[in-house]
Amino acid sequence: MPYPLQLGLQDATSPIMEELMHFHDHTLMIVFLISSLVLYIISSMLSTKLTHTSTMDAQEVEMVWTVLPAMILILIALPSLRILYMMDEINDPSLTVKTMGHQWYWSYEYTDYEDLTFDSYMIPTNDLEPGQLRLLEVDNRVVLPMEMPIRMLISSEDVLHSWAIPSMGLKTDAIPGRLNQATLMSSRPGLFYGQCSEICGSNHSFMPIVLELVPLKHFEDWSTSLL
């Protein structure tokens, strides 16, 4: 969960999000160094009257400002491609959950079970219990086992939606007639909140997502109680 006046990203819950946060810090440091160098050059040019006419036609300088940006782009591109392939890789998922977007709620189907389906609506403000979060709580949470690879199949029945969980680094579009997939694996138990991240109509702001990650034994007890 984010907290008031938060400047950084949410705490990582999945290995993918940890990699994304490391890449964010890596890229931010490169941008900071480049910005500092440009600021120093601009300030030095404005504060001194000394000029070097020989640098206006120097092949060494032209070589440096051509090769150096190329090397910096490679330093950014290689870890970015690595994480991109990691996000698309799905190896033998332990559980598959189908998510369908509607105006304006989500429905979930656990495809490994026969009749384990439910709809998930936002709880109105007037019906919230003490301690529950406004515009983020739902009547039926998505309960999943932790420390296990889970495949999410995401689509829509009406308009474009987007299924997003920031703390897990997940954001997948729900498109009518198209089945997208995403992989999630939580390294710790807890409640993790998200919302629809694609403007889908007048009640777009009222489509929260709540994942409840629990140990495998608790997940088996929960699924048995619903069947």
| Domains with residue ranges and CATH for the chain | 15-88 (1.10.287.90), 95-226 (2.60.40.420)
Q: Which of 87-91, 103-107, 180-184, 199-203 has the lowest mean pLDDT?
A: 87-91
Tell me what the mean pLDDT of segment 16-25 comes to.
Answer: 93
Residue 24 has pLDDT above 90, yes or no: yes
Q: Rounded to whole angstroms, how far apart are CA atoms 191 and 183?
A: 18
Query: Could you read off the pLDDT of 26-81 as tens digits, one per residue?
Result: 999 999 999 999 999 888 878 877 666 665 566 777 888 889 999 999 999 999 99
CA gap 183, 194 in Å, rounded: 16
**Model pTM?**
0.82
- Cross-strand partners of 182: 152
Predicted confidence at residue 42, as pLDDT, reads 86
Q: What is the pLDDT at residue 21?
A: 93
- Per residue in 128-186, pLDDT (tens digit) is 988 889 999 999 999 999 989 999 999 999 899 999 999 998 999 999 999 999 998 89
CA 181 – CA 152 distance, rounded (Å): 5
- Asked whether the bond before 65 is cis by omega within 30 degrees of 0, the reply is no
> What end-to-end distance do the CA atoms of the chain give, in Å?
31
Task: Tell me if 163 sits within 8 A of 172, measured CB to CB.
Answer: yes
Please classify residue 69 by burial: count the beta carbons closer than 10 Å to its beta carbon, then call 0-12 exposed, 13-18 middle and 19+ buried. Answer: exposed
In the structure, what pLDDT confidence band is assigned to residue 25 with cuts at 50, 70 and 90? very high
> What pLDDT sits at residue 51?
65
| Average pLDDT for 4-18 | 87
